[in-house]
């Protein structure tokens, strides 16, 4: 029986930091949700042909992202008539990925850029922070943070240093739909290992159930959210996994000590 082939996307040619920026602000969602504008969205901010109820694998999401970034970068190359650094191209591709090529095409940002007013163009990013939500045009904190990050990258700075507060993926009612997944899968792997074959970690006649593990995860989630704005994703996950394992180890030691003392 022939093996199904996975189509390999074309290289998007974007600066790695720009890819990280897009992933950071879009988040990874394997089931469709509605963005603030009401558009069905899935994966890393993919919207083309998406319907509510759709689901994808993480591999599918990566392929869609690569295609979308390739298209966004191509639009930047088409519209910009002056030389760009890889960081400037990446920041503009993120802008197009989020707002569409039409927004860049008719923008003062592009006009200033094509006049070689690079700093003037960088200042224009901050004007694109509004979205229509329930018929009302309003500034979204996620868009404010994203434009600040893009402007910083455009200037050649580390975009993470521009984050004044923890940004969120640009979506609404996050608790009512599927939650974002950790792209590295590290935490999921750690949970699977802790669960074991029977769903518990045995401690003599006593056990640590999955409910307690989940509680520990929830308690460190807030710390993960804070750290993700300050540290690279892989470092953040390493810290979270370490804290989770340490918490479970402490719980296990406490139960063993109580058992020895006959409590």
Q: What is the pLDDT of residues 78-136, one digit of tens each?
A: 999 999 999 999 999 999 999 999 999 999 999 999 999 999 999 999 999 998 877 88
Residues paired with residue 46 on neighbouring β-strands, in sequence order? 42
Average pLDDT of the segment spanning 126-153:
91
Task: Enumerate residues 6+ apart whose C-beta is below 8 A from 10.
Answer: 66, 67, 70
Query: How far apart, in Å, are the Cα atoms of 194 and each of 68, 144, 160, 185?
Result: 37, 39, 32, 14
pTM of the model: 0.61
For residue 109, what pLDDT is reported?
A: 98
Q: Is 16 exposed, middle or buried (0-12, 13-18, 19+ CB in 10 A)?
A: exposed
35 catalytic? Reply is: yes
Identify the active-site residue in 7, 35, 62, 165: 35
Handedness of CA 123, 124, 125, 130 (dihedral sign): positive
The total of other beta-carbon atoms located within 10 Å of residue 79's CB is 16
Express each pLDDT in 17-50 by its tens digit. 999 999 999 999 999 999 877 899 999 999 999 9
pLDDT at 26: 93
Q: Say how far apart CA 66 and CA 73 lie, in whole Å.
A: 10
Q: How far apart are CA 42 and CA 61, in angstroms?
A: 8
Please say whether the dihedral angle defined by the alpha carbons of residues 114, 116, 122 and 124, taken in this order, is positive or negative: negative
Residue 184 token pair: 């590295």
Q: Give the helix/strand (H/E) hosting 218.
A: helix 210-228
DSSP 3-state of 254: helix
Instruction: Give the mean pLDDT of the chain.
Output: 73
Domains of the chain (ranges; CATH) run 16-172 (1.10.530.40), 186-260 (no CATH)
> Could you identify the residue written with the tokens 């992933």?
23
Residue 183 · residue 28 · CB < 8 Å? yes
7 catalytic? Reply is: no
pLDDT at position 205 is 31
User: What is the band of 252 on the pLDDT scale with cuts at 50, 70, 90?
Assistant: low
Say how many C-beta atoms besides its own lie within 10 A of residue 159's C-beta.
Answer: 25
**Residue ranges in 100-177 assigned as alpha helix (H):** 101-105, 108-114, 118-124, 141-154
From the candidates 7, 26, 87, 157, give the one annotated as an active-site residue: 26
> Is residue 231 pLDDT above 90, yes or no?
no
Tens-digit pLDDT profile for residues 180-189: 443 333 333 3
């Amino acid at each position: 029986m022939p093996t199904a082939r996975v189509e390999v996307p074309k290289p998007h040619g974007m600066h790695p930091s720009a890819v990280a920026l897009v992933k950071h602000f879009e988040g990874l969602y394997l089931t469709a949700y509605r963005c603030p504008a009401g558009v069905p969205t899935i994966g890393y901010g993919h919207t083309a042909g998406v319907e509510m109820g759709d689901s994808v694998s993480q591999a599918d999401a990566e392929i869609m992202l690569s295609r979308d970034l390739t298209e966004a970068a191509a639009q930047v190359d088409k519209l910009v008539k002056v030389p760009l650094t890889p960081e400037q191209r990446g920041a503009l591709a993120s802008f197009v990925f989020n707002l569409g090529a039409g927004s860049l095409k008719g923008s003062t940002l592009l006009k200033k850029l094509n006049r070689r007013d690079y700093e003037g163009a960088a200042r224009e990013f901050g004007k694109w922070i509004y979205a229509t939500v329930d018929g009302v045009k309003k500034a979204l904190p996620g868009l404010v943070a994203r434009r600040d990050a893009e402007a910083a990258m455009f200037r050649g700075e580390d975009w993470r240093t521009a984050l004044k507060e923890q940004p969120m993926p640009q979506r609404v009612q996050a608790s009512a739909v599927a939650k974002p997944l950790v792209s590295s899968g590290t935490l999921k792997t750690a949970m699977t290992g802790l669960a074991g074959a029977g769903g518990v970690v045995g401690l003599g006649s006593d056990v640590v159930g999955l409910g307690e593990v989940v509680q520990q995860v929830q308690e460190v989630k807030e710390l993960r959210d804070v750290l993700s704005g300050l540290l690279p994703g892989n470092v953040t996950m390493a810290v979270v996994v370490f804290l989770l394992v340490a918490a479970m180890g402490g719980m296990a030691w406490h139960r063993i000590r109580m058992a020895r003392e006959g409590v």
